[in-house]
Amino acid sequence: MTFSIIQVIAIFFVPYLIIKYHNFKLTKLLGTIGTAYLLGLIVALIIYLLNLAGIDLKPNKDIGEIGSHAAIGIAIPLLLFSANLKEAKKLSKTVLLSFASLLFSVMFVSAIVFYVFGRTLPDGAALSGMAIGVYTGGTPNLNAIANIFGLDPTAIGIANLSDMFIGAVFYMFLLLLAKPLLKKILPESKGGIYMKETSDIRNTDEFNFNEFKHSKPLVLSFLLALGMAIVGAGVGILIWILLGAEQGRMTDLLVPSMMITVTVLGIIASFNKKIREVKGTNILGQYLILVFSFALASSMDLTKIQSGFGDILLVFGSVTILGFALHVFISWLLKIDVDCTMITATAGIYGPAFIPAVTKQIKNDALTIPGLICGSIGYAVGTFLGLGIGLLLGL
């Protein structure tokens, strides 16, 4: 009982510390989500070693699973609330074509990887869907799809670790080598028009603590997101009852229903200006993503990691590299410039948070806002693209 209380406190307190000290060297190096997973893995490793030493200490899996499901269910709409999807109409044809190319490339390559290798894996179709979710949207999409497919928490944790490892290596390639190599085959940017109209969209993934103040609108936004999660769970329970209320099957229907419902309702709510402009929803959403990440990593069974890490790493790595290569090839066919190709790839593979750093590196600030808009679109569509293709492959 005492350990369960400590577990609950840690699940909610450690992510708070990560956000508070997000400028710490380790957090800057790994990112906030990477830090949450690292600290969670350290906890899992300590528990594993204590068990090897004969001390029977096991985390409460119910706390970890329920906490992670609730956190991701509330986090998704909070993150979507601030996504200004209406700004997409301001993007130029070039940017829209380029981002569509990225979406198509990731989906096509994920399907090919499944048929070549993934279908031999126990959760091959789900993994391909998760790869589409994370490389067209972001980590929240990956975890939403994983929860919809009902993957084991350890498998979800391994998938996230694989994505972080691949993402770190590929990000260095984007920053240091991508432009010098790609400008040999793609047209150089010559001050192209990337926006049809001006936009004041901002990077909603930034941790601006001046915006995070206790306010009635923020509390109401949280309650709205919570209400959406409850409605989604209620839909799942209703479906379970209508299908005969089979013992032990309720969670299998509750979690997918909740994830799909909060994503749909979160997108709808983002078109409401009052909801969209509430300050602090992005930080609150990011905090809950860290709660999910730490809870998941700290409850992982480390004895299962070796059996699945290599396979999942291969699936995600193949989708990243081959998807990017196909995206570049399509850009070559359509004569899309190198800068636009790189930024739309960054928006899909990494999300809005990484756009400013890459536009600064390639010295093209004109693509910062288009990249942020594309990243927001990715958050909105990534779960549906990954879920749809994953279900088709599963057939």
In tens, the pLDDT along 8-42 reads: 888 888 888 888 887 787 777 777 888 888 888 88
In a domain, 53, yes or no: no
Tally the domains of the chain: 1
Residue 227 one-letter amino acid: G
Closest CA to 37 of 347, 299, 319: 299
pLDDT digits (tens, 9 = 90+) for 305-318: 666 788 889 999 99
Measure the CA–CA gap between 369 and 91, rounded to whole angstroms.
9
**Per-residue pLDDT, 226:** 93
Residue 354 has pLDDT above 90, yes or no: no
In a domain, 66, yes or no: no
Residue 294 has pLDDT above 80, yes or no: yes
**Per-residue pLDDT, 256:** 85
Residue 33 one-letter amino acid: I
Measure the CA–CA gap between 201 and 64, rounded to whole angstroms.
36
Q: How far is CA 345 from the centre of its chain?
A: 15
More confident residue, 104 or 171: 104
The percentage of the chain sitting over the pLDDT mark of 70, rounded to a whole number, equals: 91
pLDDT band for position 62 (50/70/90)?
Answer: low
In a domain, 131, yes or no: yes
**Per-residue pLDDT, 309:** 80
Contacts of 85 (CB under 8 A, 6+ apart): 267, 270, 271, 376, 377, 380
In a domain, 61, yes or no: no
**Per-residue pLDDT, 59:** 66
> 282: how many CB neighbours lie within 10 A of its CB?
25
Residue 19 CA: distances (Å) to CA of 12, 14, 314, 343: 12, 9, 31, 26
In a domain, 25, yes or no: no
pLDDT digits (tens, 9 = 90+) for 266-282: 999 988 989 988 888 88
As given in the structure block, the two tokens for residue 214 are 């206790």
Measure the CA–CA gap between 283 and 49, rounded to whole angstroms.
35
Cβ atoms 183, 338 nearer than 8 A: yes
More confident residue, 191 or 93: 93
pLDDT digits (tens, 9 = 90+) for 209-242: 555 566 788 889 999 999 999 999 898 889 888 8
Segments forming the whole domain that contains residue 386:
86-278+302-394
Mean pLDDT score of the chain, rounded to an integer?
86
**Per-residue pLDDT, 112:** 96
Task: Give the burial string for 139-173 (b: 16+ CB within 10 Å, else e).
Answer: bbbbbbbbbbbebbbbbbbbbbbbbbebbeebbee
In a domain, 59, yes or no: no
In a domain, 377, yes or no: yes
pLDDT band for position 64 (50/70/90)?
Answer: low
Cβ atoms 82, 204 nearer than 8 A: yes
Mean pLDDT of the region 382-388: 94
**Per-residue pLDDT, 331:** 96
pLDDT digits (tens, 9 = 90+) for 105-134: 999 999 999 999 888 888 899 999 999 999
**Per-residue pLDDT, 268:** 92
In a domain, 195, yes or no: yes
As given in the structure block, the two tokens for residue 111 are 């399907």
Mean pLDDT of the region 291-314: 79
Residue 38 CA: distances (Å) to CA of 35, 65, 182, 318, 325: 5, 18, 34, 24, 30
Residue 208 has pLDDT above 60, yes or no: no
Closest CA to 84 of 272, 351, 293, 321: 272
pLDDT digits (tens, 9 = 90+) for 84-100: 788 888 899 999 999 99
